[in-house]
Structure 1
């Protein structure tokens, strides 16, 4: 099963890459404060001098590891979403199916960016800034899908912007519940809520979807509900 999970942290590569691999793997599994520089250096198979040469501080290493994860995670999520269908409604709802695959993986430990933000006190902390940038990037992608849905359903731009913010909360909420509960089906619960939200925003779109479904049934000679 393909997920956004990281490759083997001790895979061959430059000392910098190996330090990033080790930092990401250890911090994602155990947290920033619980992971020491010695553990990162040991898992990376590099010399401690390499750590100081490339990063200089643990916070700089963590921020760099998160920046790299952001790029990989977004590429994975965007590709997974785009495979869900041609219509924006299918792609929006399909985001939760993409998440469920991730939740069911053995190495799921929640959102690395929410986890990291929770361990930093200052809004100006470089690690918090990377986490905030990741959420802004995710929101921007969700907005493109909401804009496409607005075009399909004749929703105005203001409502599409509000929908995108609500969608981000549902995505992050599903991630948080899946982490705490250990239930991958948290994604399905969020998906059901998201569907209700879409139907409330554009009831006409929902009726059209039902009408198309009934039309297909008639085409195949299946009985229709009253």
Structure 2
């Protein structure tokens, strides 16, 4: 007991935070199933009893560690995106520059949430729920930028929703390709595709505007179909 207390007191931070930090680092680098509780406890510098004090199971620890990573990663991604430009178009395309910086870092091992979801079969598992929540949160942020792009370009709101879903596919696709290939330029390839998508949306919106204007003009010039009045002068 005395030794456990002494060991924990020599490492800064609470035991719970150290367990979360160690779990996140080890699981992100090596995977959930390949990382045991003993390895997490050892790296955290805590006593094994601290693990049972703060978490009911390894899965609970993993889910909590992923929630912690979600908060930090989203804050980083949002801040990086906001710095990429004053227009929504620049920020949307700048997301891929943010990703490229991440891909070039020494500790890049792909998306922790896609990795975790790939290891957990049940959609109702707490770990999968956290992973799904992260993607929903990322999509929501992307949607805010797509809504602003729609306002800037005059695009219909319903098309902004579709654009945000396409953008998430491009972001996750770039992350997956960078992980497998080891090439950070996967972000630039995705950015090029994203630019094409925006250009196509702009052309489609221009065509839609012309169509609406033509229909409005035709309706204005179309003769009335109202039957002539049968009233006679008196």
Deviation at residue 12 of structure 1 after TM alignment: 2.0
CA deviation string 1:85-118 (max 9, x = no partner): 0000000000000000000000000000000000
Conserved? CA contact 2:11–2:45, under 8 Å: no
Partners in 2 of 1:157 and 1:205 — Cα distance? 11
**Structure ID, larger Rg:** 2
In the alignment, is the contact (CA less than 8 A) between 1:199 and 1:205 conserved in 2? no
- Gaps of at least 5 residues in structure 1 are 1-9, 207-226
1:189-208, CA deviations, whole angstroms, 9 ceiling, x for partnerless residues? 000000000000013899xx
Could you tell me which residue of structure 1 aligns to residue 29 of structure 2? Answer: 29
Q: Judging changes above 3 Å, is the alpha-carbon distance between structure 1 residues 125 and 204 closer, same or farther for their aligned structure 2 residues? A: closer
Counterparts of 1:62-101 in structure 2, within 5 Å, are 62-101=62-101
CA contact (8 A) 2:155 2:205 kept: no
Give the Cα–Cα distance (whole angstroms) in 2 for the partners of residues 34 and 128 of structure 1.
Answer: 17
Structure-2-length-normalised TM-score: 0.82
The aligned counterpart of 1:159 is 159
Give the equivalent residue in structure 2 for 1:144: 144
The alignment of Structure 1 onto Structure 2 pairs a total of residues equal to 197
TM-align CA RMSD:
1.5
Please report the TM-score for the alignment, with normalisation by the length of structure 1: 0.85
Q: CA deviation at 1:187?
A: 0.1
Aligned to 1:127: 127
What runs of 5+ residues in structure 2 fail to find an aligned partner? 1-9, 207-234
* 3-state SS in 2 of match to 1:121: coil
Task: Describe the superposition over 1:105-161 as per-residue Cα deviations: whole angstroms up to 9, x where unpaired.
Answer: 000000000000000010000000000000000000000000000000000011000
CA distance in 2, matches of 1:198, 1:93: 9
Report the equivalent of 1:19.
19
What does 1:46-65 correspond to in 2, within 5 Å?
46-65=46-65
d(CA) in 2 for partners of 1:205, 1:51: 56
